[in-house]
Amino acid sequence: MKKACPFSLILGVFIFFSFSSCQRDTRPLDLQLKDALTEGLKQHQIKGASSAVILPDGSVHRIVAGDSHDSVSINPDMLFAIGSITKNMVSALVLQLSEEGILHLNDPLHRWLPRYPHVDSTITLKQLMNHTSGLYMFWDNDKIWTDLKQYRDSVFTPETVLGYLKDPYFAPGKDFRYSNTNYLLLAMIITKATGSSLSKEFCKRFWGPLEIRNAFLSMEEDLPPRLAHVWSDNFENDGSFKDVTFLPRNSHESITYGSSGLFMTAEDLAKWSHNLFQGKVLSETSLNQMLNFGKGGYGLGVGYFGSVLGGNEQAVGHLGGNIGTTASMIYSRKYKVSLVVMINSYDVKCISALSKKFGKIILRNLLIKS
């Protein structure tokens, strides 16, 4: 993986829970999902995966397949980087702070932060959240990749990362373009508004109340040793494919920060999805704001994934990628099902195919029971 695939390039990949007329499979759901996961890994030549499904009755299904490394199999308690799904939590945090009157979605940047080159200080928080700010995506600057590899042990401050910006793509509010820069700035604003750190706010507002015990923000928290090993070329672009789990990555993790810095288990990410989209994290007004999809099929830290069996039903969620990992978090609003799939390689086609296949199996089982 060289650059994280922008969300806008993969929206619409999933027609989530699209019905399949396959012959009825009477085996337990877990066995059906296990076979689908194993087959998908083999087809896409991916080493391992962890997934979790929460059904309408609240039952949790944890499905794993393949290997982490050597002869060590993936197990459900292993952590994966969730990449850009982190943006969903950052948006939820901003919305909570808005509910409390600490900040407002229409606040301009200059209310919270100093002026920076190539950053229009009249951009609002909402425009950052829905990627209509027009701000340059710092990953698009090749120099940041050169420096990231040259200084792997260095920590890049947010101000340093903002130094890689170039002219905006368009004036604020005029179009949609996915940019991690938006969520870097939101993280900076959160720390300024709360006088705290992003990780502490996550723990206080989300992980503690929801009993999520397997969520860690890299660079601000120590990651437990139970990481799923990840495989990639570590940005060398030399065709290699190796275990890069413990190679130096301070530079990359510090750059990702508020845009893609969280590590979680599949089960706890599914638990987050279920609580958020069932209204247990935000007020009804805030959740509706989050799910107000605009340009690019993107709301406030969440994407629209298409219809389920036609009609206006929405499947919503987010995708994410990091060094040697890809993850999807999808929630069916009609069927009240949360689905998370994580793999230990960067492969959007694989995560797309697995999520779509899981959706078909889950829907078929739900329809049989109804």
Q: Quote the pLDDT of residue 11.
A: 46
Q: What are phi and psi of 195, to 5 degrees?
A: 65, 25
Assess contact for 139 and 154: CB atoms under 8 A: no
Q: Is 116 inside a domain boundary?
A: yes
* CATH number of the domain encompassing residue 25: 3.40.710.10
The tokens for 86 are 């982190």
Chain-centroid distance, C-alpha 176: 19
Domain with 169 in it: 7-369
The beta-strand segments (E) located in the chain are: 48-54, 60-69, 72-73, 80-81, 215-217, 231-232, 242-243, 262-264, 303-304, 315-322, 325-332, 337-343
3-state secondary structure of 218: coil
DSSP H helices in 81-221? 86-99, 125-129, 142-150, 158-162, 180-194, 198-202, 208-210
Orientation of helix 250-260 relative to helix 142-150, angle to 10°:
130
Q: Tell me what percent of the residues of the chain surpass a pLDDT of 70.
A: 90
Q: Quote the pLDDT of residue 313.
A: 58
Q: Give every CB contact of residue 27 below 8 A, 6+ residues apart in sequence.
A: none
- Report pLDDT digits (tens) over 284-324: 999 999 999 998 899 999 998 864 333 455 799 999 999 89
The tokens for 266 are 């599949």
Q: Quote the pLDDT of residue 80.
A: 97
In whole angstroms, give the CA distance from residue 125 to residue 106: 6
Q: Quote the pLDDT of residue 5.
A: 47
- Report pLDDT digits (tens) over 96-138: 999 999 999 999 999 999 999 999 999 999 999 999 999 999 9
Q: Kindly tell me if the per-residue pLDDT of 18 is higher than 70.
A: no
Q: Nearest to residue 331, comparing CAs of 290, 273, 275, 280?
A: 273
Q: Kindly tell me if the per-residue pLDDT of 231 is higher than 50.
A: yes
Q: Kindly tell me if the per-residue pLDDT of 362 is higher than 80.
A: yes
Total domain count, the chain:
1
Name the least confident of 17-21, 113-117, 267-271.
17-21
Cβ density class 257-296: b for 16+ within 10 Å, e for less: bbbbbbbbbbbbbbbbbbbbbeeebbeeebbebbeebeeb
Name the least confident of 144-158, 161-175, 223-237.
223-237
Q: Quote the pLDDT of residue 289.
A: 98
Chain-centroid distance, C-alpha 345: 15
